[in-house]
Chain A
Amino acid sequence: MPFGNTHNNFKLNYKVEDEYPDLSKHNNHMAKVLTKEMYGKIRDRQTPSGYTVDDVIQTGIDNPGHPFIMTVGCVAGDEESYEVFKELLDPVISDRHNGYKPTDKHKTDLNFENLKGGDDLDPNYVLSSRVRTGRSIKGFTLPPHNSRGERRAIEKLSVEALTSLDGEFKGKYYPLKSMTDAEQEQLINDHFLFDKPVSPLLTCAGMARDWPDGRGIMHNDNKTFLVWVNEEDHLRVISMQQGGNMREVFKRFCVGLQKIEEIFKKHNHGFMWNEHLGYILTCPSNLGTGLRGGVHVKLPKLSTHAKFDEILTRLRLQKRGTGGVDTASVGGVFDISNADRLGSSEVAQVQLVVDGVKLMVEMEKKLEKGEAIDSMIPAQK
């Protein structure tokens, strides 16, 4: 769990080749992009808050590769990281986000009425539906780098904003440090709470410092709308429910998110956003919409089919285990979600999930009956 150690003043006494990390066994976006020459060029820079390239890349050095997912291997410490280290981050972004160029513009669309269908995914297969995104609050550094004072200020602001919500969003804030072990365990089992930081992807980037100080969860009384405070991003906003009515989940998501955004703006703390990168988040993989819309779906047959991964690629979908980003699937139940974040809007991404999951459930049903699915294989979206 390195963090403050990357600010060693003596490292510039050593030549570039002595300081350049050994990435020979690595398989992540950072390792593919960061040449020795590039490292030499940017190693003496820092953002106004003091974030350095070694801070950006430490997680990628310490986590050479992941069995289930191609990791990014770098994180931002503040809004300016994306500018100060653009030599590194632009190619990483391009690599990760399908060739997205430094000159491209990103489109935001949180109008739920633009979604077609999505209210009829078969609940015998689709066990639950969920949409999440992240938001960063302007004026504070990000979780890999922020100080305790900043983190607490973010929490305070969030609590004020969130506890003023009403109607279906009315709820309560639970700071992690006051939660009982039992409450915490229940919330984890309900898939509501974020994990204690054990994932090395997070701990190596310094996001677990001072745990659980300044962290917490707000949820509405129905437990269908949740906000995580100070995990991997300042805020994670989540809408979820059992069953396959993604339309309802997305509507609640959009309405709730826009209410929250208004309140933060009123407090003079807008969200980090720009017209090139959309919403600015800690991990470059979450830029743009920061949106992951997904379902837990039973696909025991389809998942063992030779073409499963290809179908997912064509549908622009991604699979995970049901425990989250770096877990394995259990009992043929998969977490299926959109693969893209940047370069397409929220509505477009949820549409891909809705249409794609509908198709995969139909394929599963065919395979159950012993029928072939070759004619149903989709074109590349």
Chain B
Amino acid sequence: MSDNIENIELLGTIGIFVSTPDSNSPQIRQQGSAMPFGNTHNKAKMNYDSDQEYPDLSKHNNHMAKILTPAMYERLRSKETPSGFTLDDIIQTGIDNPGHPFIMTVGCVAGDEETYEVFKELLDPVIEDRHGGYKPSDKHKTDIDPANLKGGDDLDPDYVLSSRVRTGRSVRGFCLPPHCSRGERRAVEKLSIEALASLTGDLNGKYYALKNMTDAEQQQLIDDHFLFDKPVSPLLLASGMGRDWPDARGIWHNDNKTFLVWVNEEDHLRVISMQKGGNMKEVFNRFCTGLTKIETLFKERNHAFMWNEHLGYVLTCPSNLGTGLRAGVHVKLPNMSKNAKFEDVLKKLRLQKRGTGGVDTAAVGGVFDISNADRLGFSEVELVQMVVDGVKLLVDMEKKLEKGQSIDDIMPAQK
């Protein structure tokens, strides 16, 4: 649990005005030793009443827009976290991205660990809405013991082209990517490089800073689905995560390219295990082993990961709270995906579809990225189990449809 959560309500401005000799020049506020420096970034906005500042969400379809009423906006708009993150910071991405064609977006982000506490009035209902009714009093269970996964080593490689598990981790003591300064971001990178450099065996690897990578290296890593995109997605850009690119961003991977860590993209760390084919069990084994080692290394350096018993692992996007885990496959489902029941089946299996380029892309050639829909309220093992069992069923359905058979008798119940 974070040990310095405070509700900071600043009703006036704080700062030290330095008088200037020329009465025509404006006052310059200089920062003394007191923090924070001001209540909201644009101080003039508190001169306008809440109705004048409340965003127009009439054409919007995201979780934030559904929840943020004018009255709530009014109550929260003068608050900030200790690092200075405000309500307007949280919601800007949701204002600027009214709705997404393929996925119901969250429309808000955290700037630091305290965001989830200071702005709980907004974020608790968003979390509840997004995570299947998860309540403020609920507790989240963590289970990264790969021995608890049943099966998962025999998904048909004629259909399942690749398997992947990723999660995110935030390093305590630093602000999150929407809000971190260059100094913070570089400190996170430095710490990550030190920690990862001490991994050995089949986790022996190397760090590639984005700013030193050649265009060719970078393109190869993108094509291999190893590297994160240059930030073009408006979902990321509108929340400030693209600032100062590519400063302090990079990728570490092991020699086999089966275990990767992204540094300073949408979260401080993204940890990924992946390989061709359908052996999700092996992928998950490596994932758990590697992640546990990394966590130990960070703790040794006095920078634990942000975690609490209510929200599990604390990440930038409320959609990734809990496990932060997305386990998925690239799978050929040209027939199944055209079937009228496809969406319903996915829903019942608690799975989600994406294009093969990532979160906001379309499917190409009947190949889909199928992964767990949940993050919070289920453990890591439970989520990967759903993927393993669900994909197995989807492939069986695809095979039936290929043969012109019906799939009605193998429709699943709601998990």
List chain A positions with a Cβ less than 8 A from chain B.
1-15, 18-22, 44-50, 54, 58, 61-62, 79-80, 83-84, 140-141, 145-150, 152-153, 177, 203-204, 208-211, 213
Contact = CB atoms under 8 A, between A and B. Distances in A.
A8 B180 contact: yes
Interface in B5-40: 15, 25-31, 35-38, 40
Contacts of B181: 8, 10-11, 14, 19, 54
B78 to A, nearest CB: 13
A84 B26 contact: yes
Nearest to B173: A10
A105 to B, nearest CB: 15
Interface stretch (B84-92, B144-152, B258-266, B378-386): B84-92
27 contacts: A1-B234, A1-B238, A2-B240, A2-B242, A8-B175, A8-B180, A12-B31, A12-B35, A14-B181, A18-B186, A45-B31, A46-B28, A48-B29, A50-B42, A50-B43, A61-B244, A62-B245, A140-B44, A141-B42, A145-B41, A147-B45, A148-B54, A153-B52, A204-B242, A210-B55, A210-B95, A213-B56
A5 B89 contact: yes
Contacts of B182: 11, 14, 18-21
Given A8-B181, A177-B56, 13 more contacts: A4-B92, A5-B178, A5-B243, A14-B184, A19-B182, A22-B247, A45-B31, A47-B28, A49-B42, A49-B44, A50-B41, A147-B45, A148-B52
Nearest to A213: B56
Contacts of A14: 181-184, 187
A9 B82 contact: yes
Contact of A44 (B25, B30, B247): B30
Nearest to A12: B31
Contacts of B183: 11, 13-15, 18-19
Interface string B155-197: 0000000000000000000010011111110110000000000
B243 A50 contact: no
Nearest to B42: A147
Given A1-B96, A14-B187, A210-B95, A152 B89 contact: no
Contacts of A79: 26
Nearest to B52: A149
A62 B242 CA distance: 8
Nearest to A44: B31
A295 to B, nearest CB: 34
Contacts of A11: 181-184
A46 B43 CA distance: 11
A61 B242 CA distance: 11
Interface residues of B, number: 56
Contacts of B86: 4
Contacts of A208: 96
B42 A145 contact: yes
A208 to B, nearest CB: 7
Interface of B: 15, 25-31, 35-38, 40-45, 47-49, 52-56, 82-84, 86, 88-89, 92, 95-96, 111, 175, 178-184, 186-187, 211, 234, 237-238, 240, 242-245, 247
Given A1-B242, A4-B92, A9-B83, A45 B44 contact: no
A2 B243 contact: yes
Contacts of A58: 243
A10 B178 CA distance: 14
A13 B49 CA distance: 34
A50 B80 CA distance: 15
Contacts of B48: 147, 149-150, 153
Contacts of A84: 26, 28
Contacts of B37: 7, 9, 46, 50
Contacts of A147: 42, 44-45, 48, 53, 88
A209 B96 contact: yes
B53 A149 contact: yes
A203 B232 CA distance: 12
Contacts of A8: 83-84, 175, 179-181, 184
A176 B283 CA distance: 50
Contacts of A80: 26
B214 to A, nearest CB: 13
Nearest to B247: A22
A62 B244 contact: yes
A13 B96 CA distance: 31
Contacts of A152: 52
A6 B184 CA distance: 12
A4 B240 contact: yes
A48 to B, nearest CB: 6
B38 A203 contact: no
Contacts of A150: 42, 44-45, 48
A13 to B, nearest CB: 8
Nearest to A274: B24
A7 B26 contact: no
B29 to A, nearest CB: 5
A1 B240 CA distance: 5
B25 to A, nearest CB: 5
A15 to B, nearest CB: 7
Given A4-B86, A10-B175, A148 B187 contact: no
Contacts of B247: 21-22
Contacts of B52: 148-149, 152-153
B29 A4 contact: no
Nearest 7 A/B pairs, CB to CB: A14-B183, A149-B48, A147-B45, A11-B181, A149-B52, A18-B183, A5-B240
B29 A10 contact: no
B45 A149 contact: yes
Contacts of B15: 46
A48 B27 contact: yes
Contacts of B240: 1-5
Chain B CB within 10 A, most for which of A2, A49, A146, A203: A2
B38 A46 contact: yes
B178 to A, nearest CB: 6
A45 B28 contact: yes
A377 B359 CA distance: 56
A209 B45 contact: no
Given A9-B35, A10-B83, A62 B243 contact: yes
B261 to A, nearest CB: 22
Chain B CB within 10 A, most for which of A10, A47, A49, A79: A10
Chain B CB within 10 A, most for which of A22, A140, A148: A148
Nearest to A20: B182
